[in-house]
Structure 1
Amino acid sequence: MGYRMPMAGRPVSLLDTVAPRGGAAKAVAAAVLGSLLLAASAKVQVPFWPVPMTMQSMVVLLLGMAYGSRLAVASVLLYLAEGLAGLPVFAGAGAGPAYMTGPTAGYLVGFVLGAWATGRLAERGWDRAPLTALAAMAVGHALLFVPGVAWLAVLFGAEKAVAAGLAPFWAASLLKTALGAALLQGAWSVAARRTAG
């Protein structure tokens, strides 16, 4: 199939397939790389109010699919800690505790949920086939929006939360889901060729 199966029959993550050795050092390096990818994807944005459209949701979900649940969540938490510490990793110029309680706070929580869910699904092999990868990415996107829209509803009311925090993002989320699943399948194809060689 192109990927290794461990003794218990649980699929090995894409990261472990590509880099089977490294232990704790590999995990730390992967978490740092994940946080840097999230910071970079925050800067690719279309300005909307009160929440900008970025590429972060796709990166969050791809981290889950490539890393597995625990390492993906660790990457997202590291990213959030960097922002909390005041580093300019978020969309726009904001950082620190005030930013993390603003309109995007619910989506930041959603990053953790999305990374965990897609990671768990990948650990069950959903990242290996196009349709299940699409389904996993769709589940992850849904989990990003639930706390995001809920927090906006607290701040602005339910109607405005849906109008400003959900409706403008449907089409882009569908595109990012498809693109993310395609990138994942391409990465597995490359990994399969490497392991076969």
Structure 2
Amino acid sequence: MEDKQRAEEDAWLRSAQNGDADAFGYLFRRYHERTVRTLLAMMGSEAEARDVAQQAWVKAWQKIDRYNFEAAFSTWMHRITVNTALDALRKRQREQQRTGSVEEIEQKPSTDATPDRRLQINERWRELLSALDQLPEEQRSALVLRELNGYSYQEIADATHVKTGTVMSRLHAARQKLATIWKNRS
């Protein structure tokens, strides 16, 4: 991010930290779709991704006073997003284990007529999401951050609290496993 853009975003952040909901709304509008894309790849369902995105943004608003300007806001927000998704995935897994059945979530294209709708899920996208769902959480997160969101190795390391070498290793393993899964699909 350029220095001028970073300074502008920092001004919005300071206003949000002072309770300005409109300033936080600016940040929301700027990063919301990126958040949803990340969550869609992690959750496998657009409806669930949007629900978790809402939870993540509520957490961000509640914790905005803790943002310390050390990392980019996008990195900080991503950390909240991934942690919220991991919590939701763990909750889903506990519920599935408790009921003894694993429900297959079938995503149907939404009938919402909103003009901002960018996420149209087709059969190939569902196949990819299914393949991503087979990866371990750490590998899936690293792959989604890198390939869908364009994060650098360092940004992924910062967001996931690991070293860049670990990020590279996870990405390599994720790509190999995903290639195998993709090749073996029926």
- Decide: shared fold, TM above 0.5: no
TM-score, reference length from structure 2: 0.30
Higher RCO, 1 or 2 (CA under 8 Å, sep at least 6)? 1
